[in-house]
Amino acid sequence: MTNILNEIGIENYIFLSVILFCIGVFGVLYRRNAIIVFMSIEIMLNAVNLLFVAFSTYHQDAQGQVFVFFSMAVAAAEVAVGLAILVSIFRNLGSIDINNLKNLKG
Binding residues for another protein, rule: CB under 8 A, are 10, 14, 17, 21, 24-25, 28, 34, 37, 41, 44-45, 47-48, 51-52, 55, 58-59, 61, 63-64, 66-67, 70-71, 74, 77-78, 81-82, 85-86, 88-89, 92-93, 98, 101, 103-106
**Backbone φ, ψ for residue 6 (5° rounding):** -65, -40
Distance CA 85, CA 74 (A): 17
To another protein, the closest distance from the beta carbon of 40 in angstroms equals 9
Cβ closest to another protein, residue 4 vs residue 104: 104
Residue 1 CB contacts under 8 Å (≥ 6 apart), including other chains: 57
Cβ closest to another protein, residue 4 vs residue 81: 81
To another protein, the closest distance from the beta carbon of 7 in angstroms equals 19
Rounded to a whole number of angstroms, the CA Rg of the chain reads 18
- E strands present in 7-82: none
